[in-house]
Structure 1
Amino acid sequence: MSGDKMNFRAAFMASPGPQTPREAAMLWLKGLCMGGADIIPGVSGGTIAFITGIYSQLVDAIRSFDFLFVRRLLRLDLKGALAEVHARFLACLLFGILTAIVTMAGVMNYMLNNRPVEIWSLFFGLIAASIFVVGREIKPLSAVNLGFVLLGTVGSYLLVGMIPVSTPETLSFIFLCGAIAICAMILPGISGAFLLLMLGKYEYVTRTLKNPFLWDNFVVIAAFAGGAVVGIALFSRVLHFLLNRWHAATVSVLTGFMIGALRKVWPWKEVLESAVIRGKIHVLRTQNVLPDGFSGQVALAMGLFVLGVLVVVVLERLSNRVK
């Protein structure tokens, strides 16, 4: 519909999204959980989107930025372009994500540096419970679909164990890094930040963000952002096709991704290799170990694991009530 016969409020309300304040608050809460997951290395906000039942909506919302949207923008039909995209859905969700990033980043950073066992135990519980929630969507539970689960598990397990590599700093490669990192962010079980580290460009890209107005840095950021836009635009359409054409097989692979990601979030680790990036020590390679006997820390970790499981259960039940 053209925007000539509507105002901006009507255009905004014409887009898919929450219909009531309660639905808007619930979507904000899901965005809050997604943002909390995204600021944890190795944990994907896509996992939270999946377990809270908004994964397909998220993919569709990203897909709504299509050629029709671009054409209306070029014609300066701003109201028509606004009505075309899923603005209400994305506004509530992104507000929740930004809320988490602003309010929780400091807490998460403190926990990761000072209480790593406890925070990873919480996220281990979140992902472990998520596996069962998402796994219930695999219908039928056939040998073929279980094979896809195994495929996703092995792929994710190997991926999160890879060591960051040395790579070129050409703009074409930075563009590719942006496309890969943003795609991973909407995949359950795979962290875009981790893939950027694995590609050897975490330090390079984050360094440019400190002085974005320097021309050289601006060019790098533009190349990365361009790759992200192209990557998510293409990949969201691939995901939409797969979920509609081969839903059970796709969900099976995504479930496997989360199972394999448990390797990354296991709380007890031994550092094998590290590097200094921007004056801070970043762990590059670890191996999972068992705790040294039962202690107060182990008891607390087990309690946080249970808390993570309960959070998933509560989120799922709240989501089902809103539907």
Structure 2
Amino acid sequence: MTGLREWASLYLKGVAMGSADAVPGVSGGTIALIVGIYERLIAAVTAVDPARIRRLLAGARPANIPDARAAFHEIDGAFLFVLLAGIGTAVVAVLSGVDYLLETRPVATYGFFFGLIAASAAVLFGGVSLDTSRRKAAAIAGFSLAFLASGYASTALSSSPPVLFVAGAVAVSAMILPGVSGSLLLVVLGQYEYMSGTVSRFVDGLAAVALGNGTDALAETLPPVVTFLLGGLVGVFTIAHAVKYALAHARAATLAFLVSLIVGALRAPIVEVSIRLAESGETWSAAAPRFALAAVVGAALVLVLDRYSAGIEY
């Protein structure tokens, strides 16, 4: 029987993962490796399938409770529940803080993200081999996809339900991959700032309802939050399994694609800052020192994390 201390420890590990997942450039999967739960997490996530979900839902009938309990144990349900509670707590808290920083300190915030992304790419590229044409093609494809999307998505993609659904599928599935940040992919898709603001207003809406102050904020933010989460659920069943299959059958080429995706995504913070500067009338020469200093801090954080994860197989 797992004791309260073990569950509390698992919850805090979830908080650490969620804190990493909420900022672009740091992977929750890397944190899972560092704290020693990555293999169990992958086993639990990939054990979730439609058949087991149906068995769980069938537990609403008393006669099916034993089989539902068995399905819950098969997917390591208690582990997932406690871990996801920690991740959710941290994501909400961090995104609420990020929303404030993006409103008040956008240049420094995106500079920090740039440092996180750049250092992550530098660290991970040491483990990538580009000695075959297949791997080189995969690297070019990953870089090109992220680079082009970083310039297009921020200005052309709206936060419509289909876009949010796809963003949720991509971002949530990426959370279980070491080295790949789900929030980074949201930045590439031009949805990070929108979702951080939406989550912050959603939490405010919940608080307002609890205090009896109206439901307007909750009614406004609930649809995009639900759409994003539904996309994430689909992503766990599809994209995460597809990437796991690709890593098993073409590991080197897949890693080349994923890491090059991170390199191409370095354009995203630059584009976002350029948009803010154009809106405020400030020049890049005036903003560059703040951007660079924050980038150094972000890079240093990733290097510290890498030191603690040294020797771990990605």
TM-score with structure 1 setting the length: 0.65
Letter in 2 for 1:80: A
- Whether the 8 Å CA contact 2:170–2:239 is kept in 1: the answer is yes
Match of 1:97 among 68, 72, 87: 87
Query: Which residue number in structure 2 is paired with residue 186 of structure 1?
Result: 173
Which structure 2 residues correspond to residues 25-104 of structure 1 after superposition, within 5 A? Answer: 25=9, 28-29=12-13, 31-40=14-23, 43=24, 47-50=27-30, 53=33, 58-73=41-56, 74=58, 75-76=64-65, 77-87=67-77, 89-91=79-81, 93-104=83-94
Deviation at 1:236, TM superposition (A): 2.1
Query: Which residue number in structure 2 is paired with residue 235 of structure 1?
Result: 239
Separation of aligned partners in 2, 1:269 and 1:221: 25
Query: Which residue number in structure 2 is paired with residue 151 of structure 1?
Result: 141
Query: Which residue number in structure 1 is paired with residue 208 of structure 2?
Result: none
User: Which range is displaced more, 225-234 or 73-82?
Assistant: 225-234
| Residues 140 and 262 of structure 1: CA distance in aligned 2, closer, same or farther (over 3 Å) | closer
Letter in 2 for 1:232: V
Letter in 2 for 1:65: V
Query: Which residue number in structure 2 is paired with residue 5 of structure 1?
Result: none
Deviation at 1:151, TM superposition (A): 1.2
Which structure 2 residues correspond to residues 233-272 of structure 1 after superposition, within 5 A? Answer: 233-266=237-270, 269-271=273-275
Number of paired residues? 280
Query: Which residue number in structure 2 is paired with residue 311 of structure 1?
Result: 304
| Residues 68 and 268 of structure 1: CA distance in aligned 2, closer, same or farther (over 3 Å) | closer
- Whether the 8 Å CA contact 2:111–2:291 is kept in 1: the answer is no
Letter in 2 for 1:309: V
User: Which range is displaced more, 303-312 or 76-85?
Assistant: 303-312
| Residues 96 and 139 of structure 1: CA distance in aligned 2, closer, same or farther (over 3 Å) | farther
Tell me the SS of whatever aligns to 1:239.
helix
Report % sequence identity: 24
Separation of aligned partners in 1, 2:200 and 2:11: 33
Deviation at 1:153, TM superposition (A): 0.8
Separation of aligned partners in 2, 1:224 and 1:267: 24
| Residues 273 and 133 of structure 1: CA distance in aligned 2, closer, same or farther (over 3 Å) | closer
Query: Which residue number in structure 1 is paired with residue 156 of structure 2?
Result: 164
The structure that is strand-richer by fraction is: 1
What is the root-mean-square deviation in Å for CA atoms of aligned residues? Answer: 4.7
Letter in 2 for 1:252: A
Deviation at 1:84, TM superposition (A): 0.9
Match of 1:126 among 99, 109, 116: 116
Letter in 2 for 1:90: L
Deviation at 1:213, TM superposition (A): 12
Deviation digits for residues 2-56 of structure 1, max 9, x if unmatched?
xxxxxxx5xxx6xxxxxx95x9848844x4354234444xx266x3425764777
- Whether the 8 Å CA contact 1:123–1:265 is kept in 2: the answer is yes
- Whether the 8 Å CA contact 2:99–2:200 is kept in 1: the answer is no
Deviation at 1:247, TM superposition (A): 1.1
Tell me the SS of whatever aligns to 1:79.
helix
Deviation digits for residues 152-189 of structure 1, max 9, x if unmatched?
0110111122223469x7xxxx4674255222333325
Tell me the SS of whatever aligns to 2:88.
helix
Deviation at 1:231, TM superposition (A): 3.6
Query: Which residue number in structure 2 is paired with residue 115 of structure 1?
Result: 105
Structure 1: any 5+ residue segments left out of the alignment? 1-8, 14-19, 275-282
| Residues 91 and 128 of structure 1: CA distance in aligned 2, closer, same or farther (over 3 Å) | farther
Deviation digits for residues 232-280 of structure 1, max 9, x if unmatched?
3122221221111111111111101111111113498322799xxxxxx
Letter in 1 for 2:89: T
Deviation at 1:212, TM superposition (A): 9.4
Separation of aligned partners in 1, 2:223 and 2:292: 50
- Whether the 8 Å CA contact 1:152–1:256 is kept in 2: the answer is yes
